[in-house]
Amino acid sequence: MTPFLSVLQENPLLNALDVGGLEKIVAASKKVGYPRGRLIYRAGEELSRLSILFSGQVRIFRREAEGKGKVLAYLTKGDFFGQMPFIKQEPLSFSVDALMDSEVLEIEKGDLEKILKDHLHISEKAQQLGDQEGGEKYYHLIPKMATGSRPSVIVVYGTEDEIGKTTLAINLGVSLIRETKNSVVLLDLTIPEESPRPTATSVLRLDPLKYLSTSDLSMEDLDESLMVHHTQLRILALSPELLKEEAKAPKLVASLIKLLKESFDYVLIDTHSKPTRSIWEALALSEVILFVTSSIDNEVPAGVLSNQEMRLILNLGDEVSIRSTKKGSSHYLLERDYTTLEIFSRSGLPFVVQAPHRPISRTISRLARDLGGRRIGLALGGRGALGLAQIGVLEVLEHHKIPVDAILGSGLGSFVGAAYAAGAGIPQIKRFVLNWFSQGNYSQAWDLRLLKGRLLLGNSLMKLFRALLRDIEFGELSIPFKIITVDAKTGEVVLFQEDKVVDALQESLGLSSAFGPPRAFETASSEVSLNEVKAQHLKEMGADITLITNLVAPTEKDDSKVSLPAPPEPDPFTSRPPTFTLRLDLGKFSWRDFNRAQELIALGAETTLRHIPEIERTYWER
């Protein structure tokens, strides 16, 4: 049997054909070679042929409005793309390029339909495959879809020496294992004598002289060269001699990455700052580039980015102002923690294991969840005293090691969320709140005076806000955080995400109603529940999983029943119901019951505890 027939027999559309039918398809096809980087199909083209990948790897991507490329899928041997038989021809909504040298079998749609005309079951299968994704119709693309899934090749790159790339790579690799329960291999492409920093193997107290030293790759060679750290992180280092062979190294790196992808869920690549052909090859084959830099003003060198995603990792010097750097930026900040770094250097044990609660560890764990598609966005609401129940919610989530990567607050839940996002621990928030209201401050917590038609908060509540949050700004928070409210007079959704958090809290609570949820805003257009609006905003903040808390008491209305105008032109891939809704039945509590703060916190904790198995199942089954 020819290699072409073997590939067709594994094809989900054509595998029902007998050998004679498959041979007719091979005879009607032509084999076309595409070198790495060649564009195969361009978005907007009207195709008349189906392509079946025989060797190599291709990438399916779409250009976003801002010009960035969004990768939809990576295809390997046996996958197919292009114009499906028996499906109405439409312009492509995506582009296809060769990620490495690839061979493709191409057959005209008309020729294929003639061969398949007596096989009605294949026509039905084509229709089913064309519709299987739902939402957006990928009629021209029926591969092993990877839309919304995790990347598998991640390169840690930077142009500065001693910027912490190896430290980041090691701790990120361990975090990916812990946060996703997937396998990770760290591929070391550094050349020790050309780098002023220690290699990953020497940092982890592994054999620094154990290298992959042959270019004739096989899984046996890889198994012999792989080193295993007790955290289950695998490390593979290429010999300096191989990396210095500029003519052969790029092809070796490409083949090695392909082999590793077949055996591991994540291939994490550590590089040095000196650009070489092997480093460029790794960058070209990556899906995500982590650009490590000491300044937000440093730019990625021209030619590094094509269709990859990028995360900016800031490893700041002591003289850099955190406030001026973080404000208005989207990146991960590795705060200087000399004690933690020194212990890591002496012990060889990754600090995400030995000091998981340190800010630098939390940041790297959050990055791992970002890459693994496991970021949890939490919406905390509750008008008046009811919002204090959210302290109990966070307490239980934290106890069960369920991380929170984005917070959307409303009502007094926004104060609880802001304090947590600012880095205050739950014991600190709980102690502060209980002490505050035990001193009788609850009697002045909510001043019912109106100023220009807006509710005016009492001085006591504002003093509480300032005592915990001080002058912190949104850009300085450890966890992405926004405040959402509905203007009680107009019914419009208002977001707060800039400047001082305390000022935003005061203004947002003044806009909303103190006596229950805002009135329903009726409109002739489609209506979206407040839960869906919150879920959509959390997704825009980067959340993969959205957890919405609904606080309901007999004297209050249910937030989830409030109807709002749908956001303009919602993206069908993001405007979905919440992943999980946690309903807190607060019995006979009222928004005025600040003197019952302890009971509210306890009830929030008790309700959340009952739902922990469902929340954990939702998290790990993704």
Q: Residue 125's pLDDT band (boundaries 50, 70, 90)?
A: low
Q: Which amino acid is at 259?
A: L
Note the pLDDT tens digit of each residue in 490-508: 778 889 998 899 999 988 8
- In this prediction, residue 587 carries a pLDDT of 79
Per-residue confidence (pLDDT) for residue 600, from 0 to 100? 94
Cα(61)–Cα(42) distance, integer angstroms: 10
List pLDDT tens digits, range 369-399.
999 989 999 999 988 889 999 999 999 999 9
Average pLDDT, the chain: 78
Q: What pLDDT does 454 receive?
A: 45
- Locus of tokens 């959402």: 484
Section 70-89 average pLDDT: 70
> What is the spatial distance between Cα 517 and Cα 533, in angstroms, rounded to a whole number?
15
- pLDDT score, position 328: 38
Please state the rounded mean pLDDT for residues 294-321. Answer: 73
Q: Note the CATH architecture for domain 3-131.
A: Sandwich (2.60)
Tokens of 518: 């805002």
- Look at residue 169 and tell me whether its pLDDT is greater than 90: yes
Question: Worst-scoring range by mean pLDDT, 12-21, 84-93, 223-232, 319-328?
Answer: 319-328
Confidence of residue 595 (pLDDT cuts 50, 70, 90): confident
Q: What is the pLDDT of residue 141?
A: 39
The predicted structure's pLDDT at residue 233: 96
Distance CA 21, CA 40 (A): 27
How far is residue 615's CA from residue 217's CA, in Å, rounded to a whole number? 43
pLDDT higher than threshold 50 for residue 588: yes
92-101, 326-335, 453-462: range with lowest mean pLDDT: 453-462
Residue 571: per-residue pLDDT: 42
Of these ranges, 1-5, 104-108, 178-182, 453-457, the one predicted with the greatest mean pLDDT is 178-182
More confident residue, 597 or 125: 597
| Most confident residue range from 185-194, 543-552, 597-606 | 597-606
DSSP 440-504: TGGGGSS---EETTEE---HHHHHHHHHHHTT-BGGG-SS-EEEEEE-TTT--EEEE-SSBHHHH
Average pLDDT over residues 129-136: 41
Domain ranges of the chain: 3-131, 152-371, 387-621
Relative orientation angle of helices 597-620 and 389-399, to the nearest 10 degrees: 40
Note the pLDDT of residue 65.
54
pLDDT band at 513 (very low <50, low <70, confident <90, very high): low
Confidence of residue 489 (pLDDT cuts 50, 70, 90): confident
Please state whether beta strands 30-34 and 39-41 pair in parallel, antiparallel, or not at all (unpaired). unpaired
Once rounded to an integer, what is the mean pLDDT over residues 179-208? 86
CATH top-level class for 387-621?
alpha beta
Six token digits for residue 211: 């290298």
CATH code for the structural domain at 152-371: 3.40.50.300
pLDDT, residue 464, reads 82
Helix (H, G, I), strand (E, B) or coil at 450: strand
Amino acid sitting at position 583: R
Q: Which residue has the higher pLDDT, 361 or 207?
A: 361
Distance CA 328, CA 498 (A): 8
Structure confidence at residue 160 (pLDDT): 85
The pLDDT value recorded for residue 203 is 92
Residue 98: its pLDDT value, please? 86
Q: Do 395 and 416 meet the contact criterion of CB atoms below 8 Å apart?
A: no
CA dihedral 15, 16, 22, 26 (to 10 degrees): -40
DSSP string over 170-228: HHHHHHHHHHH---EEEEE---GGG-SS--HHHHTTS-TT--B--SS--HHHHHHH-EE
289, 308 in Cβ contact below 8 A?
A: yes
Strand 234-237 versus strand 227-228 pairing type: antiparallel
Maximum distance among all alpha carbons in the chain?
A: 87
- The residues pairing with 545 across neighbouring beta strands, listed in sequence order, are 376
Lowest mean pLDDT: which of 132-146, 443-457, 574-588?
132-146
pLDDT value of residue 526: 33
Lowest-confidence region among 125-129, 312-316, 493-497: 125-129
Question: 102-108 and 30-34: which strand pairing?
Answer: antiparallel
**CA 27 to CA 189: how far, in whole Å?**
44
- Specify the pLDDT at position 84: 63
pLDDT (average), residues 522-546: 73
What is the band of 368 on the pLDDT scale with cuts at 50, 70, 90? Answer: very high
The answer on pLDDT for 4 being more than 80 is no
Please give the residue that has the higher pLDDT: either 82 or 50.
50
CB atoms within 10 A of CB 66: 5
Q: How confident is the model at residue 302 (pLDDT cuts 50, 70, 90)?
A: low
Confidence label for 441 from pLDDT (cuts 50, 70 and 90): low
- Please indicate whether residue 230 or residue 139 has the higher confidence score (pLDDT): 230
Per-residue pLDDT averaged across 314-323, rounded? 61
Return the pLDDT at 340.
Answer: 93
CA 187 vs. chain centroid, Å, equals: 22
Q: 600, 599, 619: which is closest to 611 by C-alpha?
A: 619
Q: Which residue has the higher pLDDT, 383 or 338?
A: 338
Please tell me what DSSP assigns to residue 280: H
User: Which pLDDT score, from 0 to 100, does residue 316 have?
Assistant: 73
In angstroms, what CA-CA distances link 28 with 114, 121, 449? Answer: 11, 21, 82
Nearest-10 Cα torsion for 444, 450, 454, 455 = 20
